[in-house]
Amino acid sequence: MHTPEWLKDAVFYEIYPQTFYDTNGDGIGDLPGVIEKLDYIKSLGVNAIWLNPCFESPFQDAGYDVADFYKVAPRYGTNDDLKKIFIEAEKRGMKIILDLVAGHTSIEHPWFKESCKPQKNKYTNYYIWTNTWGEGDPNYKFINGYATREGNFMINFFYCQPALNYGFSPADPEKPWQLPPDHPDCMAVREEMRNIMKYWLDMGAAGFRVDMASSLIRGEDAEGGIVELWQDYRAWMEQEYPEAILVAEWSHPDKAINAGFHIDFMVHFNLPGYTSLFRSEKYRVPNSPFAGETSYFDKSGEGGCRLFADELAEQLEATSGKGYVSVPTGNHDIGRIRQGRSMDELKCLYTCLFTLPGVPFIYYGDEIGMDYVTGLDSKEGGYNRTGSRTPMQWDASANAGFSSADAEQLYLPIDPSPERPLVSEQENDADSLLNYTRKLIKLRRETPALASDGTYATLNSGEKGEPYIYKRSIGDDSYIIALNPAGKSAEVKLDAVISEEIIVSGVNVKDGMFTFEPGSYAIYRS
């Protein structure tokens, strides 16, 4: 398998288009807004962007309910605007990946409207329907009573997101409505998705982040089916678009990469390590189901990071040379990493995130430490995710420079905090989180040992409240990253030689004895 060269030092920036930058004063971010801010994104040192869904949609799940996969939603602009993003990004040495909502459509999608008809037609089996309205299957979610067609349809997420039919592996003979993945109708769905990918890749997209990548095929051997499906797409992509990539929403890199993805996230579901590191207890969005103990990156010193460190080492071993793990700052589905943390605490945390192997992803606004906004009504199916989706805070002008619309017109309100961080302020402050983020990304891009392919070894796994120390290397070039997020001093003796201080804040090393002040961090050449 081929790994595109550009991935080896890639750093991604995730843009939620509705709240990034509004150029026409309607209160909603748009694609021309992304174009206007490309230089800013480039200035972070980022070389790739993941754009959340920007396609025609009734927006019952913020665009993860697509009504036309081939058309940009008018509120964001036109297909030509998207093409222009590809061109302008390329001029700046950046790639753009789109969000491929492969598992379902909106109930407004013409395929689904046809599928709802009692008369058999081309789209009858594009979705998963039981044969009669009395049937179901406790393993899956069905909606009944929606259509004149007899039967209930399966959904993936909300009621308005009917699951596309990629088949069951194996189909249960007792349930004749379950079709095998190689059934011509399931293959037709597979080809539809390939055509969609082809359309955007031909226009200049560099690949896709695939929504719910692990759940397209169902049944007792769902995983076997999924591996076959994605390996088929990957083989096709390698032939036709060798520079393009697939990023999974799977949260099990060993499985996703084996199935043909180039990158998968270690995030809040499936693997508990991510949650334990950054996102447990007070760092979760309210009512989040992803419970955990206290985060390791917390000044209480109550958390430990062995779980994460072990999980990371395991995932790296299983994917080495084949694809990349990503430990992102966050995304549009979880709380902001800033929640409950000071800028200094974030600096310690980012020293970790930007020196881990694999491919970093920055959720828009995390580079300035935007906070989760509490107390908002749900917007477009956001529920408790809504507070992580508020407008980007550009400057001190009205609406934080996001939009010229009236404040009530905005897609979501601006963070009302008088201390809300702003790009404009942080630009001029050498010590700001923004400039620290830039510094870390620059270091990573100039130092192959710290980039995607450098090896990783845990030196001190940070049992409850202890420092987390690890080593990154390529050949003879080695670096030691030493972190003490706890609000207390610490000492760790290691058999390690330090040859150069790269970034040091509150850590001292003498004869292998690392002495840490509370909330300290350092990167050394070893």
| Interface with Ca ion, residue 24, by CB under 5 A | yes
| Interface with Ca ion, residue 26, by CB under 5 A | yes
Pairing of strands 324-326, 48-51: unpaired
The residue among 62 and 237 lying less far from ligand NOJ, judged by its C-beta, is 62
- The most distant pair of C-alpha atoms in the chain lies apart, rounded to whole Å, by 80
Q: Which of 298, 333, 371, 453 binds ligand NOJ (CB under 6 A)?
A: 333
| Interface with ligand NOJ, residue 211, by CB under 6 A | yes
State both tokens at 153: 């349809």
Q: How far apart are CA 74 and CA 57, in angstroms?
A: 10
Q: Which does 211 bind (CB under 5 to 8 A by kind): ligand NOJ, Ca ion, none?
A: ligand NOJ
Nearest distance, CB of residue 405 and Ca ion, angstroms: 8
Nearest distance, CB of residue 332 and ligand NOJ, angstroms: 6
CA distances from 9 to 4, 94, 237, 452, 506 (A): 10, 12, 21, 6, 29
What are the strands, taking DSSP E only, across 61-216? Answer: 68-72, 95-100, 141-143, 153-155, 207-210
x/- mask, ligand NOJ, residues 235-274, rule CB under 6 A, reads --------------x-------------------------
Q: Which of 12, 16, 64, 233 binds ligand NOJ (CB under 6 A)?
A: 64
Residues 6+ apart with CB under 8 A from 194: 233, 236
Nearest distance, CB of residue 26 and Ca ion, angstroms: 4
The residue among 211 and 453 lying less far from ligand NOJ, judged by its C-beta, is 211
Q: Which of 13, 50, 59, 157 binds ligand NOJ (CB under 6 A)?
A: 157
Q: Which does 28 bind (CB under 5 to 8 A by kind): ligand NOJ, Ca ion, none?
A: Ca ion
Q: Which does 333 bind (CB under 5 to 8 A by kind): ligand NOJ, Ca ion, none?
A: ligand NOJ
Q: Which does 212 bind (CB under 5 to 8 A by kind): ligand NOJ, Ca ion, none?
A: ligand NOJ
State both tokens at 127: 């979705």
CA distances from 456 to 309, 315, 362, 464 (A): 10, 11, 21, 21
Q: Which does 61 bind (CB under 5 to 8 A by kind): Ca ion, ligand NOJ, none?
A: ligand NOJ
CB crowding 224-237: b at 16 or more within 10 Å, else e = ebbbbbbeebbeeb
CA angle 400-401-406, nearest 5°? 80
Binding site for Ca ion (CB under 5 A): 22, 24, 26, 28, 30
Binding site for ligand NOJ (CB under 6 A): 61, 64, 101, 157, 211-212, 249, 332-333
